[in-house]
Amino acid sequence: LMAGAAGRPLTGRRAVVTAGPTFEPIDPVRGLTNRSSGKQGYAVAAALAELGCAVTLVSGPTALGAPVGVNRIDVESALEMQKATQDALPADIAVLSAAVADWRIDTVAGAKIKKAPGGPPTLSLVENPDILAGLSRPGRNRPKLVIGFAAETQDLEANARAKLSRKGCDWIVGNDVSDEVFGSDGNTVLLVTASGVETWPRQSKTAIARRLAARIAEQFKDPA
Ligand code: CTP
Ligand code: CA
């Protein structure tokens, strides 16, 4: 074995990782967004890069710096995230951890909406495309291993299992967001695959990312 090959088992592989929230504009000064620090997704991008993987990190607005050796693409809206994710293909691995806003504003106002005596504006919403479901669809460009996240406040395992089959992805990392998660350095997750469910003890987001990256490397044991 060549020196370093054991420590960098994903050398020659490519991954796309989404992270952070999306921001859906209402007008030039306002928007709709989701709660997400981006820490877990950034940690996954860093952990994959540490194993030698070439990583494109498609990131919504976060306060984080790009991990060393990772190609970060900044986006705001779900539509921008979808395009940047598609542009990062082909890839062997996709880890979609972003907290994508489920809806965007139907018609974004070109100028700041002013308060008016008639009362607040009515916002009309349309559903955003499901980036994970789209990427999981069988086809020439489908990454070999597609991993989604499920942030749930209740029935974590049942919801994560349901998401795995509904989205058509290979693995789901179920994330219990009922206790301290947002912006925190710790996290409690379970991993749902076709062969079952593993519950991982609460640990740092970095430790979870390294464990996930090691599991991914196991799936790609044969050199690229
Ligand atoms: N996801 C995505 N594009 C969307 C919505 C979600 O790629 N428009 C991805 C997320 O990045 C995550 C997974 O799908 O990996 C699950 O997201 P989640 O919000 O839990 O699932 P939804 O299908 O939107 O269901 P819910 O009604 O619970 O929000
Ligand atoms: Ca959602």
Q: Is 131 in the pocket of ligand 1 (CB under 6 A)?
A: yes
- Evaluate whether 87 touches 131 at the Cβ level (below 8 Å): no
Given a contact cutoff of 8 angstroms between Cβ atoms, the answer to whether 203 and 177 are in contact is no
CATH architecture of 14-102+126-219: 3-Layer(aba) Sandwich (3.40)
Q: What is the mean pLDDT of residues 87-93?
A: 98
In tens, the pLDDT along 156-215 reads 999 999 999 999 999 999 998 876 667 778 888 999 999 999 999 999 999 999 999 999
User: Strands 145-152 and 189-193, how do they pair?
Assistant: unpaired
Tokens linked to 181 = 């998660």
- Ligand 1 atom, smallest distance to 159 CA: 28
**Across 56-70, 77-91, 186-200, least confident range:** 186-200
- Ligand 2 center–CA 223 separation, angstroms: 35
Ligand 1 pocket test: which of 80, 85, 100 has the largest number of ligand atoms within 8 Å of its C-beta?
100
Measured over all CA atoms, what is the biggest interatomic distance in the chain, rounded to whole angstroms? 74
pLDDT in tens, 11-43: 999 999 999 999 999 999 999 999 999 999 999
Locus of tokens 């989604």: 148
Query: Which atom of ligand 1 is nearest to 131's Cα?
Result: 7
Q: Do the Cβ atoms of 97 and 14 come closer than 8 Å?
A: no
| pLDDT band for position 222 (cuts 50, 70, 90) | confident
pLDDT of residue 3 exceeding 70: no
CA of 101 to the centre of ligand 2 (A): 6
**pTM, entire model:** 0.95
- Ligand 1: does its nearest atom lie under 6 Å from the Cβ of 130? yes
Q: Indicate if ligand 1 lies below 6 Å from the C-beta of 102.
A: yes
State if residue 175 touches ligand 1 by the CB under 6 angstroms criterion.
no
CA angle (168 as vertex; 208, 222 as ends), nearest 5: 60
pLDDT of residue 5: 64
Assess whether the C-beta atom of 100 lies below 6 angstroms from ligand 1.
yes
Considering every ligand atom shown, identify the ligand nearest to the alpha carbon of residue 152 and give its number.
1
pLDDT given at position 203: 92
The proportion of the chain whose per-residue pLDDT surpasses 90, expressed as a percent, equals 88
* Positions marked active-site: 34
What pLDDT is attached to residue 176? 86
Residue of 148, 145, 168 whose CA lies nearest to 53: 145
Length of the chain equals: 224
Q: Is the pLDDT of residue 1 over 80?
A: no
SS3 for the chain is: CCCCCCCCCCCCCEEEEEECECEEEEECCEEEECCCCCHHHHHHHHHHHHCCCEEEEEECCCCCCCCCCCEEEECCCHHHHHHHHHHCCCCCEEEECCECCCEEECCCCCCCCCCCCCCCCCCCEEECCCHHHHHHCCCCCCCCEEEEEEEECCCHHHHHHHHHHHHCCCEEEEEECCCCCCCCCEECEEEEECCEEEECCCEEHHHHHHHHHHHHHHHCCCCC
Its ipTM equals 0.99
Best residue for ligand 1 mutational test, from 22, 80, 163 (most atoms within 8 Å of Cβ): 163
Q: What is the spatial distance between Cα 108 and Cα 123, in angstroms, rounded to a whole number?
A: 10
